[in-house]
Amino acid sequence: MKICYLIQTHRCQEQIYRLVHTMNRLSPDAYIVVSHDFTACNLNAEALNQLPKVHVISGKGGRGTFDIVQGYLDAVEWLRTNDFNFDWLINLSGQDYPVQPLHKVEEFLAKTSCDGFLEFFRVFSEESHWSRREGNSRYFYRYQKFSSPLSERLVKFLNPIKVVNYIQPFFRINLSYSMLGTRINPPFTEDFNCYGGSFFCTLSKKCVNYLYDFYLENPEVVEYYKGVCVSDESFIQTILANNRSLNLQNDPKRYFDFSQTRDGRPHTLTIHDYSSITQSDSHFARKFDITVDKEVLDYLDNKILNVALENSLM
């Protein structure tokens, strides 16, 4: 069985190098594809390409737009074009980290009868993790980015104008993403529901092939998602969860904590989160920032690398 880890990166070279080296050491036979946004920060691609089965390609990043989804799809196209034969594709960001030895993750995938592991819920239902207003604002409007991102100071200053979002249905102002949206009719029906969930997932080749073929064959749906806000938290879920032939488990196998934040970003994990992380049955956790706390990654390295070493000696 062959695993491909797709790591989409855009910041902090040191943390990217650490993640790639750790994963390459843990699973030297797996493919590791680093899709890096070189417009956001530099990366020594030549050094990483010298590692066995590591490949660096140019990719797109971004928050709130279709760019990160496009980067994922472009990476899938690159894998297809270059005849990479994989059984599972696991996408990560540069701020993710394994919390189990990768041989355990790969053994789990070799035995499962599921086709994919991802978080998914119907956006416009009682099971939704978002309010009805949040779902409407995201997926019933076509957005345009402001000419330049708003500074945190300006966002705070302009915050009172968001009241217009509550008194009329024709347009939406999103200061967090520096966007203005106008009302549209989405493509959803009783047979094609809108689903949401975390962008990060573990998909079998069956799922990846279906996702990519749908992308090629349904340009109107793709065009719709290119215009909405936070498309990365709906595009993959909507395509896969509407296919009843796929055996999907509603579990992304990721540890993240949104309980301490209010800006749509997960809490930055530190050594204080170590017990919660390791007591979960997650395969990966996010997000980490070595400029905030490097110690938690040292502890994780000690845990997963030692277990991997013991396994290799058995």
Model pLDDT for residues 116-145, shown as the tens digit of each residue = 999 999 999 999 999 999 999 999 999 999
Last residue of some domain: 133, 157, 183?
A: 183
Q: What is the pLDDT of residue 62?
A: 75
298 and 215, same structural domain? Answer: yes
| Averaged pLDDT for residues 10-26 | 95
Model pTM greater than 0.75?
A: yes
> What CATH number has the domain bearing residue 307?
3.90.550.10
Q: Do 294 and 229 sit in the same domain of this protein?
A: yes
List pLDDT tens digits, range 210-228. Answer: 999 999 999 999 999 999 9
* Residue 128 belongs to a domain: no
Position 176 scores a pLDDT of 87
Residue 263: the pLDDT is 60
Question: What does residue 197 show for φ and ψ, rounded to 5 degrees?
Answer: 155, 175
Of the listed ranges 21-25, 197-201, 266-270, the least confidently predicted one is 266-270
In this predicted structure, the answer to whether residue 311 has a pLDDT above a threshold of 80 is no
Quick one: pLDDT at residue 215? Answer: 98
Q: Is 188 among the domain residues?
A: no
Mean pLDDT across 276-297: 95
Residues 77 and 207 in one domain: yes
Residue ending a domain, among 183, 208, 235, is 183
Tell me: do 82 and 198 sit in the same domain.
yes
Model confidence at 313, pLDDT cuts 50, 70, 90, reads very low
Q: Are residues 163 and 200 in the same domain?
A: no
Shared domain for 46 and 102, answered yes or no, is yes
For residues 267 and 239, state if they share a domain. Answer: yes
Same domain for 154 and 277, yes or no, is no
- The answer to whether position 135 is within a domain reads no
Could you tell me if 169 and 61 lie in one domain? no
Classify residue 27: in a domain, yes or no. yes
Is 56 among the domain residues?
Answer: yes
Q: For residue 4, how many other CB atoms are within 10 A of its CB?
A: 23
Give me the pLDDT at residue 261, please.
Answer: 62
pLDDT greater than 70 at residue 19: yes
Residue 273, in any domain of the structure: yes
Q: What is the pLDDT of residues 56-101, one digit of tens each?
A: 999 987 778 899 999 999 999 999 999 999 999 999 999 999 999 9
Domain containing 176: what range? 141-183
**Residue 306: pLDDT band by 50, 70, 90 thresholds?**
confident
Residues in the chain: 314
Cis peptide leading into residue 287 (ω within 30°): yes
Residues 96 and 24 in one domain: yes
* 146 lies in the same domain as 282: no
Whole-number pLDDT of residue 99: 96
Listed residue (209, 241, 287) closest to 11, CA to CA? 287
Are 43 and 119 found together in one domain? yes
Q: What is the DSSP string of 36-79?
A: E-TTTS---HHHHHTSTTEEEEE----SSSTHHHHHHHHHHHHH
Query: Which residue shows structure tokens 């106008």?
Result: 182
Q: How many distinct structural domains can be found in the chain?
A: 2
Interval 227-248: pLDDT, tens: 999 999 999 999 999 999 999 9
Across the chain, where does the E strand assignment appear? 3-9, 31-36, 54-58, 88-93, 96-98, 116-118, 121-122, 141-145, 171-174, 179-183, 195-196, 202-204, 248-250, 254-255, 284-286
